[in-house]
Chains A and B, each alone.
Chain A
Amino acid sequence: MKAMKDAPLKKKRYGKLVNPLDYTRKGWMQTLLGINFFFLYFPIVALVAFSFNDSKRNIVWKGFTFKYYIKAYNNEALHSSFMNSITVASISTVVSTLLGTMLGLALYRYRFPFKPAYEGFAHLPIMIPEICMGIAMLVFFSLINMPLSLFTITVSHIAFTIPFVAVVIRARMSGFDTSYEEVSYDLGASQWQTFWNVTFPYLRPGVVAGALLAFTLSIDDFVITFFTAGIGSTTLPIKIYSMLRFSVTPEVNAASTVLIVLTLTLTILAMTIQARANKR
């Protein structure tokens, strides 16, 4: 107030001047964003926090403990379902990365009859609802009389992760200068040498990012897995779901936290690899 008195001129007050695209600097926008983030992430934060809660119930904070992690680790069924998830995700990642890379390369490079239609079909699994994909898989497996097992889960995961890998590969290749390959041929390299010496080194970040994407999609998939899983072939998300039906214990929280940390780490890894490659 004193300062106001001292000011020789009465200045007209404008709001803080904000550039047209800097609207995130406006106060009301920041509040709105804060509320959004709160609703989005509070449940997850709570889930993680209560996994360390020294209580059987998820309501009152009683104290910090790791015992539910140990309990979850020693839970035979939970443990084996986790290993199942890892197995399924690993195998399906390897296969779908291989096939997806080839698909992405073929779609980038070649022109062939009905290519747009083929492209549409190839990318369909990204768009169709997972539940339809799951049911379709189930119907298909029963049609060919294939008993549901880890194998059927793996096959389904391969099927729905391939297009994701292909999209990443294509995006990577779109920045590729084909004269690199021409130079290589011109200097005497065969097509095979050219691919491994020139094309693949350029493609590698895309392959790694695609693989990590496929792995995270596979390891936390619930819907498709639910339809294609048989007796004794339970994966971690299915197991967590079945544990919930009895009661929500911190053990479930602990298992979920492990899953969150795993997928988050891999996603961040995939994004950094892609960002670093694009910077070049």
Chain B
Amino acid sequence: MNDNRAIISINNLTKTFGDVVVAVDNVTIDIIEGEFFALLGPSGCGKTTLLRMLAGFENPNEGRILIDGQDMVGIQPNRRPVNMVFQSYAVFPHMTVAENVGYGLKVDGVNMAEARPRITEALSLVQLDGYEDRMPDQLSGGQRQRVALARALIKKPKVLLLDEPLSALDAKLREQMQLELVRLQQSVGITFVIVTHDQDEALSMADRIAVMEDGRVRQLAPPSELYEFPNCRFVADFIGKTNLFKATTRGTEGSNVILEIKGLGEVAIPFKGQAENDISIAIRPEKVRLSGTEPSGDAIKISGKVIQVAYYGDESHILLENPTGVVITANVPNDSREAQGRIVEGDDMWISWSAADTLVLTE
């Protein structure tokens, strides 16, 4: 990242459709030059609308977009220094791979002699060497996507926009393309902005992620911060799996806040912010320990019966219910072949976790 210069500045951007639908609601984001940025959220959260405003296919009702310091108001998509890879790839079916990739050069009036080597170069960038004369209907879905990528990258955009680029691929190929997109982004050094609803995709690829809900950005942070320190219930719940409990504030004690959790009793958890009455605590299911006897020490603990064991191969998810009806999930790694079957439904067990791993969520 080159000295944190913002390549895209989104200021108070709002987009409404008709009078009722607010797709993007007062969004302010700075995207830094050279980073891999992800817009993450459930469908209908406004992430695609935001991306289409960056590309110029939608006009904002309010706010500004600066790309490389230039105000984008009234600038048509064909004059913007960004290129987009569409969800459907939209590889022109009546053109060969080379014609597709060279399309952006052709409309710019670049002559064939100059375009040829650049097409070859762009195709080798996406590992499609020698595919120049194929027709799109002879390509697989993954290859079509590479063509779409090469077609956008050949224009050397300041920012590459990707709209759900991996959603049409099968699971294995998707994983492979995630790694390849990161490699590609690092080798070309262009800022990538990707829209996705898949948290794994965002976490594994992006340098920073903006989590969106109902047109607003709920949290903007690097992946690990987003996962370990979500700032609200929505983010904690949307990113990964989490055990959420409603709590009531009972007071403070040094740097700890004393909370009463229904069915769990009072616990002291380190917390810096302002504790209000409407508060929740969250604990990730892989950060809890499962034991047959009461754990010693001052960990937060809960005992109950195992009500369900879900086997996922690499790990098992164990649901425990305590006598007051509180249900908590623990993810247990199946770290040996014999691990499976060690815990069965109906077992009486303890779940415990350290106060330091507990998240306190005020929103």
Contact = CB atoms under 8 A, between A and B. Distances in A.
A, B co-complexed? yes
A280 B57 CA distance: 28
B92 interface: yes
Interface string A176-190: 010110111111111
Interface residues of B, number: 26
Contacts of B107: 184, 187-190, 193, 197
A190 B78 contact: yes
Given A179-B86, A182-B57, A280-B137, A187 B92 contact: no
A202 interface: yes
B199 interface: no
Contacts of A186: 55-56, 77-78, 83-84, 152
Contacts of B301: none
A34 interface: no
B295 interface: no
Interface string B102-133: 01101110000000000000000000000000
A280 B78 contact: no
Contacts of B57: 182, 185
B273 interface: no
Nearest to B55: A186
A180 B57 CA distance: 13
Given A182-B77, A193-B107, A197-B107, A187 B90 contact: no
Contacts of A184: 103, 107
A189 B106 CA distance: 9
B292 to A, nearest CB: 57
B15 interface: no
Contact of A187 (B83, B93, B137): B83
A188 B155 contact: yes
B76 interface: yes
Nearest to B57: A182
A124 interface: no
Contacts of B151: 183, 187
Nearest to A179: B90
B272 interface: no
B219 to A, nearest CB: 30
B96 to A, nearest CB: 13
A179 B52 CA distance: 12
Interface in B14-59: 55-57
Contacts of A189: 78, 103, 107
Nearest to A182: B57
Counting chain A CB atoms within 10 Å of each CB, which of B84, B86, B90 scores highest? B90
Given A187-B107, A188-B108, A177 B78 contact: no
A198 B93 CA distance: 9
A147 interface: no
Contacts of A183: 84, 86, 90, 92, 148, 151
Contacts of A182: 57, 77, 84, 86, 90
Nearest to B80: A186
A116 interface: no
Interface string A160-187: 0000000000000000010110111111
Interface string B126-165: 0000000000010000000000100110010000000000
B248 interface: no
A177 B84 contact: no
A232 interface: no
B88 interface: yes
Contact of A177 (B56, B76, B88, B152): B88
Contacts of A187: 78, 83, 103-104, 107, 151-152, 155
Interface in A187-212: 187-190, 193, 197-198, 201-202
A280 to B, nearest CB: 7
A193 B92 CA distance: 14
A182 B87 CA distance: 12
A78 to B, nearest CB: 44
27 contacts: A177-B90, A179-B86, A179-B87, A180-B90, A182-B77, A182-B86, A183-B86, A184-B103, A185-B76, A185-B77, A186-B77, A186-B78, A187-B78, A187-B83, A187-B107, A187-B151, A188-B78, A188-B79, A188-B108, A189-B78, A193-B107, A197-B103, A197-B106, A198-B92, A201-B94, A202-B94, A280-B137
Given A180-B90, A184-B103, 6 more contacts: A183-B148, A186-B56, A187-B155, A198-B92, A202-B93, A280-B137
Closest 3 CB pairs of A and B: A187-B104, A189-B107, A179-B90
